[in-house]
Amino acid sequence: MSPAATAELRALSNTACIVGVDESDEIGTLPDKSQLSLHLEAITNAVRDAGLKVRDVDGIFTAGQHPPTLLGEALGVTPRYVDGTTVGGCSFIMMVGHAIAALHHHLCDVAVVSHGESGRSGVGVSPRRDTSLTGQYEIPFGFGGAPTYFGMITTRHMHEYGTTLEQWAQVAVSTRKWAGLNPKARNREPITVADVLASRPVCYPFNLLNICLVTDAGGAVVLTRADRARDCAKKPVYVRGAGEATEHVMVTQMRNLTQSEATRLSGEKAFGMAGVTHKDVQHVMLYDAFTSGPPLMLEALGFCKPGEGVRFFEEGRSTPGGSLPINTNGGGLSYTHSGMYGIFPIIEATRQLRGECGARQVPNVKRSLVNGMGGMLSAAGTLVLSNER
């Protein structure tokens, strides 16, 4: 980025805050709740958390099957700013960046970023249709589910850097330790590397415990400008930096399978806007659809050299009591993963920065980094959040 562009972004830093966060009333297996209800529960809960009213909401940001127009209609509000950017699970992380820009320019005053997905039970969900490109070039060979794509990235990383199945398993073990401290997490029993390696083979290099959960869940985040945030119910969490980028859709089009360009660019922008570096964050949330995701994200974001991301997990730095706690809610691997998981890392980072996390609270957190992917590292969003200006 040019110095002028960085200066413009720096001016946006700390101008808006996250003032409300929450999940839907329940998360997990919810056959009696539609996808739309999951959205509406999450939005009403998050707005209440902020000490605001639904009628205060005038900006709606959402990704997935339901457009922002539908959420406005269902809530009975008429937003004057909407954003339906749907580029995978990181869309919500990107939308925090979009929202602070919209708030800064007074395009809206209270922005809600909402997620609702009946990913497990499929209640109120339209059937998914393959695009022409996957239908021609991928589906006839048996590709389809996320493991059949992300595995390509993972196998290549093992080839280039000698990463082992045991090392990927450490990510599941570390994340499960955090889940054990989160009452909302779906799977809380401790697991070992041996458990991961002995779990059912799904698609090499992934066994079942290398793959995220499939759940029904909603989540929402409320933002407003910093001046108004001070009057909200909870301690404001400043959006200090935000960055996004997209590289590809189909995994064959990814330039370097082991180093995500979208992730790297999104991180560079977020750090540049925040005016901080890696050593300035005390807590990290990374989108863990697969155990190999977080190590690759650490590498692409520059927390370590390529090939060294797994060390954070095998050396215990990521675990409770470690020097850089990662995925403290228990992650997509053990807490919840409805399909487009990206709202939940933002919720957890906010709660950590507010000091609301009880047994899993990370001491002395001042800044948290949130990074998520859309698709197969196809798109990426990064946030630097802080509880002080």
Residues that bind another protein (CB under 8 A): 132-133, 135-145, 147-148, 151-153, 155-156, 159, 200-205, 250-253, 257
Our CB check for another protein shows the closer of 291 and 329 to be 291
* Spatial distance between the Cα atoms of 289 and 302, rounded to a whole number of angstroms: 20
Rg (CA), the chain: 19
* Spatial distance between the Cα atoms of 146 and 212, rounded to a whole number of angstroms: 10
The pair of three-digit structure tokens given for residue 26, joined into one six-digit string: 């329940």
Q: How far is the CB of 199 from another protein (least distance, A)?
A: 12
Q: How far is the CB of 294 from another protein (least distance, A)?
A: 19
| C-alpha dist (Å) from residue 298 to 31, 92, 134, 228 | 36, 20, 29, 34
Q: List phi, psi (to 5°) of 268.
A: -60, -45
The pair of three-digit structure tokens given for residue 277, joined into one six-digit string: 């570096």
Q: How far is the CB of 163 from another protein (least distance, A)?
A: 12
Q: Residues with Cβ < 8 Å from 353, sequence gap 6 or more? A: 235, 237, 283, 365, 366, 367, 368, 385, 386, 387
Which residue is listed with tokens 């059912």? 200
Our CB check for another protein shows the closer of 76 and 140 to be 140
* Spatial distance between the Cα atoms of 187 and 209, rounded to a whole number of angstroms: 11
The pair of three-digit structure tokens given for residue 207, joined into one six-digit string: 């066994």
Q: How far is the CB of 374 from another protein (least distance, A)?
A: 19
* Spatial distance between the Cα atoms of 286 and 327, rounded to a whole number of angstroms: 6
Of 206, 212, 167, 211, the closest CA to residue 185 belongs to 212
Our CB check for another protein shows the closer of 222 and 251 to be 251
Q: How far is the CB of 205 from another protein (least distance, A)?
A: 7
Our CB check for another protein shows the closer of 107 and 158 to be 158
Do 389 and 14 meet the contact criterion of CB atoms below 8 Å apart? yes
Q: How far is the CB of 385 from another protein (least distance, A)?
A: 35
DSSP state of 332: I
CA angle (268, 300, 11) in 5-degree steps: 15
Q: How far is the CB of 197 from another protein (least distance, A)?
A: 13
Our CB check for another protein shows the closer of 214 and 250 to be 250
Which residue type, as a one-letter code, is found at position 149? Y
Q: List phi, psi (to 5°) of 123.
A: -90, 120
Our CB check for another protein shows the closer of 80 and 159 to be 159
What's the sign of the alpha-carbon dihedral 298, 170, 311, 202? Answer: negative
Q: How far is the CB of 296 from another protein (least distance, A)?
A: 14
Q: How far is the CB of 143 from another protein (least distance, A)?
A: 6
Q: How far is the CB of 155 from another protein (least distance, A)?
A: 5
Our CB check for another protein shows the closer of 226 and 300 to be 300
Q: List phi, psi (to 5°) of 168.
A: -60, -40
Our CB check for another protein shows the closer of 3 and 140 to be 140
122: left (phi over 0), alpha (psi -120 to 50) or beta: left
Our CB check for another protein shows the closer of 31 and 144 to be 144
Our CB check for another protein shows the closer of 7 and 208 to be 208
Q: Residues with Cβ < 8 Å from 202, sequence gap 6 or more? A: 147, 208, 210, 211
